[in-house]
């Protein structure tokens, strides 16, 4: 089955990285919701794409300089419309509670301590229901988790396979090349590829599948799910 990965939840019609966006993605049929995780000033994990809260909330400041309590008081919905006024940014723990038993999590570890990330996933019984995307320095410190490094190119992919033995490898538009794909397939790793913007359409989805993708990260989880059903992939 081809996994549907909802980028920041269903964020085209809901505020990104919020519980309403994740709920909509799950209802649309997503197998994973992508969650951007950062660490607050008091060492808590919060869901926020940018290093600052400015672009998606009514607040201002760097995530790492604010406490979790301060961030949870912000409005992460108002910039997506009046209907979402008052929707707060969620903590990582809240997201894990929300999705457990309903969906898996694709963690984009933006700024996270390895012990804190592992502890949170273990606490909510989500270790086997998650993949972790991040830099090599972090991934090397997560032996108990299913890590997902970026392919970069064929030579790097080969080194990643030798060092991390990953069960899944991430690809974007730049490194989704035949030679890097071949290395991943030879290692029997799953292949999760981004399909955003102009490439987030049926032709590009099918191209990814034909070339070996086993998961597609999309901004259109409902449309991708429907396409996969229509084509008999799920």
What's the pLDDT at 79? 94
What's the pLDDT at 127? 98
What's the pLDDT at 82? 96
Mean per-residue pLDDT, 154-183: 97
Confidence of residue 12 (pLDDT cuts 50, 70, 90): very high
Q: Which domains does the chain have, with CATH numbers?
A: 3-230 (3.20.20.190)
Is this prediction's pTM over 0.95?
Answer: yes
Percentage above 70 pLDDT, the chain: 100
Are the C-beta atoms of 141 and 114 separated by less than 8 Å? yes
Confidence of residue 25 (pLDDT cuts 50, 70, 90): very high
What is the chain's mean pLDDT, rounded? 97
Mean per-residue pLDDT, 47-73: 97
What's the pLDDT at 96? 98
| Long-range contact set of residues 213-216: C-beta below 8 Å, sequence gap at least 24 | 213/2, 213/171, 214/2, 214/3, 214/168, 214/190, 215/2, 215/3, 215/4, 215/5, 215/31, 215/32, 215/168, 215/190, 215/191, 216/2, 216/3, 216/4, 216/5, 216/192
Residue corresponding to tokens 């505020």: 15
């Amino acid at each position: 089955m081809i996994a549907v990965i909802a980028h920041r939840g269903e964020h085209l019609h809901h505020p990104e990285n919020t519980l309403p966006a994740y709920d909509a993605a799950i209802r649309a049929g997503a197998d994973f919701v992508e969650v951007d995780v950062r660490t607050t000033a008091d060492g808590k994990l919060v869901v926020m794409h940018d290093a600052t809260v400015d672009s998606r909330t009514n607040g201002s400041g760097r995530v790492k300089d604010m406490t979790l309590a301060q961030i949870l008081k912000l409005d992460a919905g108002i910039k997506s419309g009046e209907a979402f006024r008052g929707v707060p940014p969620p903590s990582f723990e809240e997201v894990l509670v929300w999705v457990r038993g309903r969906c898996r999590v694709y963690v984009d570890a933006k700024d996270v301590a390895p012990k804190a990330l592992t502890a949170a996933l273990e606490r909510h019984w989500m270790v086997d229901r998650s993949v972790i995307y991040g830099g090599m320095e972090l991934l090397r410190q997560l032996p108990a988790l299913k890590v997902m490094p970026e392919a970069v190119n064929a030579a790097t992919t080969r080194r990643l396979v030798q060092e991390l033995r990953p069960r899944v490898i991430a690809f974007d538009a730049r490194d989704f090349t035949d030679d890097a794909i071949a290395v991943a397939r030879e290692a029997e790793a799953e292949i999760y590829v981004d399909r955003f913007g102009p490439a987030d359409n049926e032709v590009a989805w099918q191209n990814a599948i034909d070339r070996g993708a086993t998961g597609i990260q999309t901004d259109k989880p409902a449309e991708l799910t429907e396409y996969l059903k229509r084509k008999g992939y799920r």
